[in-house]
């Protein structure tokens, strides 16, 4: 009964939304010719793989051969891998979905005399006592795929061994980006949660968005998920003059937001009570964008589940597109994100800090400002859009081209190293007090409202992406940009140390590695005092103080 009444809730959301997107019919052939997949294709592929996959908790003593032999009884396996997260887990992708059904048919639901389990049959399984420990074939001897990044100290060492700053930037990107396995695991977790949500909304999907799929995600980043009810047949379809339509009068809510809150409240409760491995469930329904936050223990992901958040999906698509246009985009974003985290410019705790999303938009804006520009403006991408790309969400124009082949890039030959140095200089002297960053136009413009940092939201143009940032956080960012710009200009920092080793046998940090070391700009001077000096004076002062410090160290 509960299932039935709640199933009607979804009908009243999104009635004022015009989504003229023929996503499923979109042609992705041209993208793939260049080896570039659209985000849509990637989603379809990965979701389909996830549907055929199971997540199995294993014992470290499990014999891998026996493990595989046992599972192949249910069908052919396409891919599998192991990883560690509070124990060893395996992701197993079968060639056919029937194998998953066959596997689940035979599983036992645990329950003892003191405990009783909710009989929710999920694809999160536990495999025990499959043969004893023998030879080297036990799992502990097998490679577990890393699901987290290397610690910053390790990274600094690794970078210090590289022979150029360009190589350091590539090496950082390589070390931090999501792996194929991690991406599969993210889609699998969405698919497992979808199994819960479909109890209420049988045709819904749960899609990852944000850094899990936009190309800028670092191993260990949170998993942003969108409960997608748009794909339910009959939605956004004009009511016929005659014939059947769903009766939902009783379950209408007075706003789209209220419906989203009500759906997330129910799904959140369900995740809390029945979701295997989901712990610490918090319903944050009064946020601007209501969400359910929890930790998915078997994967180690911190999850944020939202609904009715189509604009965020659009901005994910946009970031993905920019990242695919030129490899320098992703590597600069990774480098800047890592640098910002190392200096506490960004934080995992919400607050007045600059967010990774804001930082990414800042990198994109900077790349649009190069001469010639490395990436086009959003307005240009909108002008290139075809009819299938049209998208208007709650009155906001979210249209932009999806076919990579329509986008002509200008030939900018700047190296990653040059761009990194220029990035720091650009923001070390940017007139933040007067100007707002606008990636739609690729130009700064007068601030429409008072805020220390103003970055126009690319789709909801009346909003400021960095509204949360306070003056002292912006000051810190600017001071660190000045310091890093300066460090990159010093021959001492910007050339390899010829394999020299420091006290503990570690290579002497140089280049990008130096920029990740604790900052020498100690406490930031008071804002008032610094404001009176022009930027060049400030940099001069900074240079002096750094030189003095270096001399002190040498003596």
Residue ranges binding ligand CTP (CB under 6 A)? 209-211, 214, 217, 221-222, 224, 311-312, 315-316, 355-357, 465
Task: Spell out a b/e string for 374-412, using b for 16 or more CB atoms within 10 Å of the CB, else e.
Answer: bbbbbebbbebbeeebbbebeebebbbbbbbeebeeeee
Q: CA-to-CA distance for 451 and 439, rounded, in angstroms?
A: 18
Cβ at position 444, least distance to Mg ion in Å: 26
| Nearest residue (beta carbon) to ligand CTP | 210
List phi, psi (to 5°) of 541: -60, -40
- Of 81, 94, 7, the closest CA to residue 48 belongs to 94
Q: CA-to-CA distance for 190 and 252, rounded, in angstroms?
A: 28
Residue 460 interacts with Mg ion (CB under 5 A): yes or no: no
Q: Running DSSP on this structure, what letter comes out for residue 259?
A: H
Of 47 and 211, nearer to Mg ion (C-beta) is 211
Q: What is the DSSP string of 46-58?
A: HHHHHHTEEEEEE
| From candidates 28, 181, 224, 483, binder to Mg ion by CB under 5 A | 224
Q: CA-to-CA distance for 72 and 139, rounded, in angstroms?
A: 17
Cβ at position 316, least distance to ligand CTP in Å: 4
Of 123 and 296, nearer to ligand CTP (C-beta) is 296
Q: From the centroid of its chain, how far is CA 445? A: 28
Of 352 and 543, nearer to ligand CTP (C-beta) is 352
Pick one of Mg ion, ligand CTP, none as the site partner of residue 44 (Cβ within 5 to 8 A by kind): none
On the 0-12 / 13-18 / 19+ scale of CB atoms within 10 A, 340 is buried
Cβ at position 461, least distance to ligand CTP in Å: 12
Pick one of ligand CTP, Mg ion, none as the site partner of residue 355 (Cβ within 5 to 8 A by kind): ligand CTP
Residues 151-210 within binding reach of Mg ion (CB under 5 A) = 210
| From candidates 84, 222, 326, 379, binder to Mg ion by CB under 5 A | 222
Bridge-based pairing of strands 392-393 and 396-397 is antiparallel
Cβ at position 355, least distance to Mg ion in Å: 9
Cβ at position 286, least distance to ligand CTP in Å: 17
Pick one of ligand CTP, Mg ion, none as the site partner of residue 294 (Cβ within 5 to 8 A by kind): none
| Nearest residue (beta carbon) to Mg ion | 210
Pick one of ligand CTP, Mg ion, none as the site partner of residue 404 (Cβ within 5 to 8 A by kind): none
Beta bridge partners of 482: none
Of 177 and 262, nearer to ligand CTP (C-beta) is 177
Cβ at position 217, least distance to Mg ion in Å: 8
| From candidates 211, 457, 473, 482, binder to Mg ion by CB under 5 A | 211
- Of 264, 298, 297, the closest CA to residue 282 belongs to 264
List phi, psi (to 5°) of 175: -70, -30
Cβ at position 306, least distance to Mg ion in Å: 11
Contact 30, 404 (CB under 8 A): yes
Of 222 and 256, nearer to Mg ion (C-beta) is 222
Of 122 and 211, nearer to Mg ion (C-beta) is 211
Bridge-based pairing of strands 124-126 and 53-58 is parallel
Cβ at position 98, least distance to ligand CTP in Å: 35
- Of 203, 223, 307, the closest CA to residue 257 belongs to 307
Pick one of Mg ion, ligand CTP, none as the site partner of residue 312 (Cβ within 5 to 8 A by kind): ligand CTP
Of 209 and 365, nearer to ligand CTP (C-beta) is 209
Cβ at position 331, least distance to ligand CTP in Å: 16
Three-state SS for 194-240 is HHHHCCCCCCCEEEEEHHHCCCCCECCCCEEEEEECCCCCCCCCCCC
Binding site for Mg ion (CB under 5 A): 210-211, 222, 224
């Amino acid at each position: 009964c509960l299932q039935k009444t709640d199933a009607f809730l979804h009908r009243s959301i999104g009635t004022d939304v015009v989504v003229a997107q023929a996503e499923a019919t979109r042609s992705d052939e041209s993208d793939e010719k260049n080896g570039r997949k659209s985000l849509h294709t990637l989603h379809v592929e990965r979701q389909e793989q996830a549907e055929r996959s199971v997540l199995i908790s294993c014992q470290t003593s499990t014999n891998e051969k026996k493990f595989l032999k046992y599972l192949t009884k249910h069908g052919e396996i396409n891919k599998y891998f192991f990883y560690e997260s509070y124990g060893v887990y395996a992701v197993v992708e079968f060639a056919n979905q029937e194998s998953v059904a066959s596997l689940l048919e035979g599983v036992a639901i645990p329950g003892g005399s003191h405990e009783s389990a909710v009989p929710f049959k999920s694809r999160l399984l536990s495999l025990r006592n499959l043969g004893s420990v023998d030879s080297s074939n036990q799992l502990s001897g097998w490679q577990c795929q890393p699901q987290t990044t290397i610690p910053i100290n390790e990274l600094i060492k690794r970078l210090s061994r590289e022979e150029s700053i360009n190589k350091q930037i590539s090496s950082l990107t390589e070390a931090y980006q999501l792996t194929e396995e991690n991406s599969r695991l993210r889609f699998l977790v969405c698919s497992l949660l979808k199994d819960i949500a479909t109890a209420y909304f049988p045709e819904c999907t749960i899609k990852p968005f944000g850094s899990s799929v936009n190309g800028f995600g670092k191993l260990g980043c949170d998993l942003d998920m969108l409960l997608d009810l748009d794909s339910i047949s009959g939605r956004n379809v004009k009511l016929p003059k005659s014939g059947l339509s769903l009766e939902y009068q009783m379950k209408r809510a007075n706003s789209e937001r209220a419906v989203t809150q009500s759906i997330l409240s129910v799904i959140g409760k369900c995740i809390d009570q029945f979701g295997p491995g989901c712990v610490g469930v918090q319903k944050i329904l009064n946020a601007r964008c209501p969400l359910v936050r929890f930790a998915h223990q078997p994967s180690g992901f911190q999850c944020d589940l939202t609904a009715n958040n189509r604009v965020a999906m659009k901005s994910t698509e946009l970031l993905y597109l920019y990242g695919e246009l030129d490899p320098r985009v992703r590597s600069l974003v990774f480098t800047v994100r890592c640098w910002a985290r190392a200096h506490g410019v960004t934080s995992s705790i919400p607050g007045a800090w600059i967010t990774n999303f804001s930082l990414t938009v800042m990198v994109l804006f900077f790349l649009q400002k190069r001469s010639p520009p490395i990436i086009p403006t959003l307005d240009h991408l909108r002008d290139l859009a075809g009819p299938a790309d049209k998208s208007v969400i709650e009155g906001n124009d979210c249209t932009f081209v999806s076919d990579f082949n329509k986008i002509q890039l200008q030939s900018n030959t700047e190296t990653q190293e040059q761009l990194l140095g220029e990035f720091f200089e650009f923001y070390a002297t940017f007139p933040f007090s007067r100007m707002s960053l606008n990636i739609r136009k690729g130009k700064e413009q007068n601030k429409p409202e008072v805020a220390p940092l103003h970055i126009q939201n690319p789709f909801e143009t009346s909003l400021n992406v960095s509204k949360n940032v306070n003056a002292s956080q912006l000051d810190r960012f600017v001071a660190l940009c000045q310091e890093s710009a300066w460090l990159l200009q010093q021959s001492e920092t910007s050339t390899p140390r010829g394999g020299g080793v420091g006290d503990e046998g570690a290579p002497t940090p140089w280049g990008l590695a130096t920029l990740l070391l604790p900052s020498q700009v100690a406490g930031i001077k008071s804002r008032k005092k610094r404001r009176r000096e022009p930027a060049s004076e400030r940099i001069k002062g900074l240079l002096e103080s750094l030189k003095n410090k270096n001399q002190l160290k040498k003596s």
